[in-house]
Amino acid sequence: MRFVFLGPPGAGKGTHAKILSEKYGLDHLAAGDCLRRHIRGNTELGLKAKSFIEKGSLVPDPLVNEMIFFEIRRAQGKKGFILDGYPRTVGQAEAFDVFLTDSKTKLDRVINFAASEEVVIGRLSGRRVCQQCGMNYHVTNIPPKREGICDTCNVALVQRKDDQPETIRHRLEVYRTETSPLIDFYARKGLLYDISADKNVAQLQAELTLLFDKIQAVGA
Ligand code: AP5
């Protein structure tokens, strides 16, 4: 199964992609996590991407396309993937179409996590992440068992630099202008599945699990 998770920052794409990829044995390919790994590793891509990410702007298409195609090729042979945060511009989506055709691969669905601005601002301001395992928490919505400490890795949680109020506002503007046109792009292809991401995690998981089960049954 192959999915794209689309939606504004803070809609919950990463949270749900992590749970569902483990449940269905899929690869979770998160563009933002991958770029942050390159930054931590001081790779050539990481050095180029750093300033864009810290400002909340998009990393140029050619760099991101190359990185994602490499990750998908590396994951080939597994049961499929969830692409979290890619594509994010019409240019990326067009390049991705060519990649899919060349590799004789099809997408099953593009899940559009529709969330109100008020909700995403609240989620991003309270998000805390574990840099070791990538788990996302929220100070009030999804708190760790011990305040500020990852349940699994037992290390201190951190706040992402791009989760500061000014940068959040800029990321939302970038989403509106550059990413939201992909809703129509994938609707025209008949691939779009809309969900209201303002609900709580359990409600959304139940809805997504129904969809994944249905697609898995058709493909089996
Ligand atoms: P990226 O890391 O992908 O950030 P993003 O899209 O802005 O998405 P987020 O991770 O902020 O949100 P999310 O929807 O995953 O929400 P989450 O599950 O964490 O990208 C970062 C940067 O990298 C970009 O700004 C750009 O510079 C660059 N980049 C990435 N992809 C790129 C691309 N394709 N092209 C160019 N540049 C690219 O949830 C948020 C919080 O809410 C968490 O605290 C969570 O615990 C909580 N939460 C989640 N769901 C719920 C719920 N239902 N109820 C209550 N709380 C919830």
Is-contact 150 132, C-beta < 8 A?
yes
pLDDT score for 59: 98
* More confident position, 79 or 208: 208
pLDDT score for 78: 72
pLDDT score for 211: 96
pLDDT score for 181: 98
Q: What is the pLDDT of residues 16-26, one digit of tens each?
A: 999 999 999 99
Pocket of ligand 1 from Cβ distances under 6 Å: 7, 9-15, 31-32, 35, 52-53, 56-59, 64, 85-88, 92, 123-124, 127, 136-138, 141-142, 162, 171, 200-201, 204
pLDDT score for 101: 96
Q: Percentage of the chain with pLDDT > 90?
A: 89
Task: For the chain, give the mean pLDDT.
Answer: 94
pLDDT score for 220: 55
Examine the pLDDT at 33 and tell me if it is beyond 90.
Answer: yes
* More confident position, 218 or 87: 87
Find the 89 Cα to ligand 1 centroid distance in Å.
Answer: 16
Q: Percentage of the chain with pLDDT > 70?
A: 99
pLDDT score for 77: 66
Helices (H), 28-150: 31-40, 44-55, 61-75, 90-102, 117-125
Atom 25, ligand 1: residue with shortest CA distance: 56
Q: What is the pLDDT of residues 54-100, one digit of tens each?
A: 999 999 999 999 999 999 998 876 789 999 999 999 999 999 999 99
DSSP string, 89-114: SHHHHHHHHHHHHHTT----EEEEEE
Q: Could you tell me the end-to-end alpha-carbon distance of the chain, in angstroms, rounded to an integer?
A: 10
pLDDT score for 51: 94
How many CA atoms lie less than 13 Å away from 170 in the CB half-sphere?
13
Task: Please report the atom of ligand 1 found closest to the CA of residue 7.
Answer: 14
Average pLDDT over residues 37-48: 95
Map residue 80 onto helix, strand or coil: coil
Q: What is the pLDDT of residues 94-143, one digit of tens each?
A: 999 999 999 999 999 999 999 999 999 999 999 999 989 888 899 998 99
Is-contact 157 130, C-beta < 8 A?
yes
pLDDT score for 76: 72
Atom 20, ligand 1: residue with shortest CA distance: 32
